[in-house]
Amino acid sequence: MTTTSTMADKRQQYDCFSCGRGFETRAQLRGHVNNGHTECEWVDDDTVDLRDTEYYLSRELSKLEFNGRVLAEATDERNPLFERVKFLSIFTQNMDEFFMKRVGGLEQQRAANITATSPDGRTPDEQWRDVLAKAGPLLNRQAQCYHDQLRPALAEAGIDICEYEELSAKEQEDVNSYFESSVLPTLTPLTIDSAKPFPHISNLSLSLGVLTQQTHESEPTFSRVKIPKNRPRLVQVGETTRYVPLEQVVAANLSFLFPNVDVIEHATFRATRNAEVRRNEEIAEDLVQRAEEVIERRQFATVVRLEITETMSERMLDTLLSHLDVDERAVFRLAPPLDFRDFDQLLNLDRPDLTLDEWTPQPHPRLSHRGHDSGESIFEEIKRDDALVHHPYHSFDGTVQRFLDEAAHDPDVLAIKAAIYRTASDSQIIQRLIDAAKNGKQVAVMVELKARFDEENNLEWAQRLEEEGIHVAYGTIGYKTHTKTTLVVREEDDGVELYSHVSTGNYHSETAKRYEDLGLFTSNRDIGQDLVKLFNYFTGHSLHNEYRDLLIAPGNMRERFVELIQQEAKHAHDGKEARIVAKVNRLEDPGIIRELYRASRAGVNIDLIVRDICRLRPGLAGVSDNITVHSIINRFLEHSRIYYFHDDGADRYFIGSADWMERNLDNRVEAVTPIHDTQIQRRLQHVLDLCLTDNDKSWELHPDGSYSRQTPDDDESIRNAQAIHMREARETHPN
């Protein structure tokens, strides 16, 4: 008896999209790809080692380049003054996070004597040294921006940030009166002596170091005064628009804190602690315990940076160094004031002449509350056609929150499943899920307890959900759940329908006003069934590797992206048009970068829009000639991820939560969805085209890792992608 091979049998062979070579297992194909698939015929020059360190930029230095572009928005005089102040504050926040996360991680590797090199060829110690060498000038540029540009411009606009010494006697009296009544009771001076150990310096807190002396013969004593966070950082002088930094007001009134002694020196300092607190999840009793321990241990982590005012004496600095155990190379002497995070206090002033025109997210042309008010269900609209929402141009309340609100109260809805990575402190999303449970629906929520700096907030929400009887999953051992997805199960006349929302952004109503993100609403059955598998993994911890439509990490995502890139390379080798466009937050995965290099060498035209870190070096002869990299820094944080592959005219589009980073592809749970609707595909192409033609807020990456701002030619008009999106959203307002 003979047998013939069926189509199902043939589908078990795994083919390399570049050379067509078949393999019996995924593991064999993956090994072929990881080894450079040198058998692929379009790789016609094997003399180029694409793993060579010369083809990769430093991740850490690329991050500092990004922070430099953020700071450039503070120095850009084309921006309204308050917008510049906002970016000054954002730069401080970014640098704080960089030291807590990236420098903290390097410190841990140095302490463990790790000498393994990064893709760009640097050891952890070399990276640490290079980072400190570049961070210092950046921090000085920030101080210079404030003193030479922003402070004079604010004064010219009638907002005068003064030194305490610049105040008149009457003004000093007013400020001192405020200090005595509203600040002094909150202060706690802590002095070091034989009975009192060195006080704990909390992360990112602003402090005054004070040296006092009983008599001229006695040794000076060190004390620390913590500047309270619950008092305005900029103290208003009477009813005027003049302000004094709070630390200067405290310094001018130290006699209240240290009576009957001589204050011989005071200086401001600020410590940054490592946020890379790790715990072996396998030995933790549960993920709740782990999250609680991370929150606790982070408060006492090692100091990775010490900022001091430039006048601090060596004697006081030596005291800090010895007790904080910080390397002197991680000390930054800066012109005061330190820490501009709280200077965004000024943005609350009623000065519309100093701000950008306020933006109000517009109703979605199809999913707006107008349809809701007329009695039409949002589910009927989604079932009719897929819908794409683009925040902050489209209202979050009128789309995402409406979706969950209707799901919570619709008697035909059987179940709701949602994955929460970050959400607002007063989240209406969480409240809708609670409402749904109270209305008798099955509700399951995946709450990620490892979302850095949101662990405490997420833990509180998770416990609240459990108290309401909702099934809560706390993440998975070894992976951080980063996907932003919701599934609604609804009983209808023709059977049970699955409604899905797959997004690039968080279920966070506040960041949805400031972050640019995309979300797909669909009743596509394959996508819905893939989400059923994904949510079963969250609650049952049984990982599926086979998905019909979605790209899921861990699972098929890396392999599918590699196949898509290789397919473009094959088209180029065959003389066909080949193009890749990707819009991501970060690009740092060496495997993906190598595939992009190979595709470029095969003739694929590749345009990358990378807001933040980029390890790929564009424009290298014979390697990345066909690759361009752009970065947009604008009023809204570019946060969406879009992937486009021409595929010989098939035009494949994808959106989702994952960047082309190793952590997203291998160490997180991510979801990326294909876009099948041709109208939505055209919309995504429009988004990409606007990014690539922006000549107002766009920067271009050069092979050496530096960036240059794009400006219009003499015969060109200004094209600002975000401004165009806002104008178009107004024009399509359903009213």
Q: What Rg, from alpha-carbon coordinates, does the chain have?
A: 28
Contact 497/446 with Cβ under 8 angstroms? no
Contact 63/613 with Cβ under 8 angstroms? yes
Give the closest residue to 406 by CA, choosing from 303, 351, 486: 486
Cα–Cα dist 723/693, whole Å: 13
Give the closest residue to 483 by CA, choosing from 421, 546, 433: 421
| 452 marked ligand binding residue | yes
| 639 marked ligand binding residue | yes
Torsion of CA 512, 518, 523, 528, to 10 degrees: -90
Give the closest residue to 522 by CA, choosing from 494, 550, 543, 544: 550
Cα–Cα dist 37/602, whole Å: 14
Cα–Cα dist 291/289, whole Å: 6
Residue with tokens 């947009």: 632
Beta-strand pair 668-675/480-481: parallel
Q: 406 phi and psi, to 5 degrees?
A: -65, -40
CA angle 558, 563, 569 (to 5 degrees): 130
Complete DSSP assignment for 512-529:
GGTEEEEEEEE--HHHHH
* Choice among 482, 508, 571, 725 that is catalytic: 482
Cα–Cα dist 315/455, whole Å: 39
Percentages (nearest 5) of helix, strand, coil residues in the chain: 40, 20, 35
User: How far is residue 152 CA from its own chain's centroid?
Assistant: 32
Cα–Cα dist 460/374, whole Å: 37
The token pair that represents 68 in the structure block: 């430099």
Using CA of residue 519, residue 525, residue 530, residue 532, what is the dihedral sign?
positive
482 is known as an active-site residue:
yes
Cα–Cα dist 274/298, whole Å: 7
Contact 617/587 with Cβ under 8 angstroms? no
Residue 489: partners with Cβ closer than 8 Å, 6 or more residues away: 413, 414, 415, 416, 417, 442, 496, 497, 498, 499
Contact 613/59 with Cβ under 8 angstroms? yes
Beta-strand pair 471-473/442-447: parallel
Could you tell me if residue 580 is left (phi over 0), alpha (psi between -120 and 50 degrees) or otherwise beta? Answer: beta
Q: How is residue 241 annotated by DSSP?
A: S
Annotated binding site for ATP: 94, 515, 611, 639
Active-site annotation, residues:
482
Annotated binding site for Mg(2+): 422, 452
Annotated binding site: 94, 422, 452, 515, 611, 639
